[in-house]
A and B are shown apart, each in its own frame.
Chain A
Amino acid sequence: MVDLLSTTYAEHDVNHAWAATHVRRSNPGARIDVKEVSHRFSLKGAALPVLDAVDFSVAPGEFVALLGPSGCGKSTLLRLIAGLDSPTQGALYSNGVEIDGPNPARVVVFQDPTLFPWRTVRGNVNVGPEAQGQKRTQAARVEAILQLVGLTDFADAYPHQLSGGMAQRVALARALVNDPEILVLDEPFGKLDSLTRIRMQAELVRLWQRAQFSVLLVTHDVEEALILANRVLVFSERPARIIAEVRNDAPYPRHRDDPKLVALRREVLAQLGIDS
């Protein structure tokens, strides 16, 4: 398995390096400040608290993972950061400016790729530039991004012709083409098979290291959080509060069987109340 991955990546590297030089970023990563944010849904008249005084920051270029049980409210937090909803209490800031609506500098990749089925792969990657009225100027960048995620040969395919992993790559490309300052990922690999997931995780780390954007990753997979992130914020059950913060300075690429990671994993699981 390791052999297979390394040889394919050797081939891929050439393309990757070429494409990466064409996808050079102009902005540094965003700084995100979440200040005492609480959020409630009203369900049949009763208030349902989902976030309880959540307070943290993401430094420019940092990779932060939000780890917690399913349904604890992490995804709600992402929607607030993306600007799709506004919080009941507290405020969120991007580079010191309060977030009051969606912005292509803060792109979200959801668990389902949610590609537009009536657009080809290229058309889907083009949504951002088109919506911002920059289709002409960004044409070369779109091709470079397709190359970067290895989908040039499928540029004219429709979403229903793609496998799950390929669709998720398209979703990633659609986000990256906007030159985001922060990439907001909501369990982006949750529905992929384990081999594809490992490959996509490695690819994400490479992209992040080259492009230097900030990343905020929501996951319920302890291992994924530890392999990918500089810092892991552990959330409680709903209403979500931050119950622990784990810093991980191990160099990349990281390996699953590294004893340090295994120790960290045990620590995080203990925080979540699970003995392993």
Chain B
Amino acid sequence: MSTDLHIRSLASLPDSTSVPPTPGLWRRVLAEKSTNTLRPKHRGSVAIWLATLAWLLGAALTAFWPDADEWPHSDVLIGIQLAVALVCALLGVVAVSRSQADAGDEVGLDAPARVTRWIALGPWFIALAIGIAFWEIATAKLEWLPRPFFAPPQALIGVYLEDFPRLSSSVVHSLGLLAYGYVLGAATGFVVGVGIGWSRAVGYWLHPVLRLIGPLPATAWLPLAFFFFPSSFSASVFLIALATAFPVAVLTWSGVASVDSAYYDIARTLGAKPAFLIFKVAIPAALPLVFVGLFMGLGVSFSVLIVAEMMGVKAGLGWYLQWAQGWAAYSNMYAALLVMALMCSGLITLLFRFRDRLLVWQKGTLKW
């Protein structure tokens, strides 16, 4: 497909009267082609209507099947289930109108791409409705899963409604600590990596240190760190930074070291000085690997963050989990875990977005 495009564009190149296709256009053409062949239109609208039905049934189940023990906040759960059913129904209306327009070869509702993506999530909406219904049955309705250790959906809703201040301040604390440690660690790792990759002298001194200290789990420093640092916050920043810096340094280094020497030759013959070679050749060429390092560093930093908060810091999600366990507040633990999952996933999404923006020139990158 792409060779076709190349031939066409080359042929039209010297001819200034015909308008050559711009790269943006190619991409749109390609995208349209692939969605046209891949999008199962009718199945899409069927699935989204089935999802509507599933969420309605779920709401009915919550409402009319009596709980084994009375649970508060069931009404909120019903409200949420009905709201999702309504969203599914609206998506279903858009899907049906669109497939009719396509069948009649006329311009239908021109919904944005985001709506198309939501409609494509129909099967996931069904699965979620069924999952939540089973969860509800296994806990609130039949208590197959014994009561203090397992919580029904409405118990989590209760935590979010009643313990919102404490939970949200925990999130803010965790994010703050993580941001300090991660940014510090990523910056240090990046500078160290570029240094080792670029300069023989820096490599001579830092490489052995990196080899010795890097593989050591950052959490092993925990007792010492809490002893040496003036506050548990600064100790945790140090630990998170340490954990992040290692993968970032190694991958940045390998990225800089593996730059094709032809790039340097070309730049030098064009008059480039060493600063240009580092900042405009070595670093951009290494960026794809730097981002792999940043991604790995982010993963490690989460686990160090939670451990540090469980061991010493008196705030944050790790501390919240520990505190909930102390009070045997299992619902709070599930609620905190869910928040934590969303937070970590959200941060990784953010990192990938940032990468996609910075590395538009790269093709075929992993979509998160």
Residues of A within 8 A of B (CB): 8-9, 11-12, 14-15, 79, 82-84, 102-104, 106-108, 110, 112, 114, 116-120, 127-128, 130-132, 150-151, 153-154, 156-163, 165-166, 174, 178, 196
Contacts and interface: CB of A to CB of B under 8 A. Distances in A.
A250 to B, nearest CB: 26
B276 interface: yes
Nearest to A165: B10
Given A103-B271, A106-B269, A153-B20, A11 B14 contact: yes
* Interface bracket on B: 35 or more
A159 B14 CA distance: 19
A160 B285 CA distance: 14
B262 A114 contact: yes
Contacts of B284: 116, 118-119
A14 B271 contact: no
Interface of B: 3, 6-7, 9-10, 13-17, 19-20, 22-23, 26, 260, 262-263, 265-273, 276, 280-281, 284-285, 287, 359-363
Nearest to B268: A102
Given A102-B271, A153-B22, A117 B15 contact: no
Given A104-B271, A128-B271, A84 B22 contact: no
A107 B269 CA distance: 6
A131 B274 CA distance: 10
5 contacts: A11-B14, A110-B266, A131-B280, A153-B20, A178-B271
What are the 5 tightest A-B residue pairs by CB atom distance, in nearest-first order? A163-B6, A12-B14, A131-B272, A104-B271, A128-B270
Contacts of B362: 117-118
Contacts of A12: 14-16
Contacts of B272: 127, 131
A168 B231 CA distance: 59
Contact of B361 (A150, A160, A174): A160
Contacts of B287: 118
B10 A166 contact: yes
Contacts of A79: 265
A131 B270 contact: yes
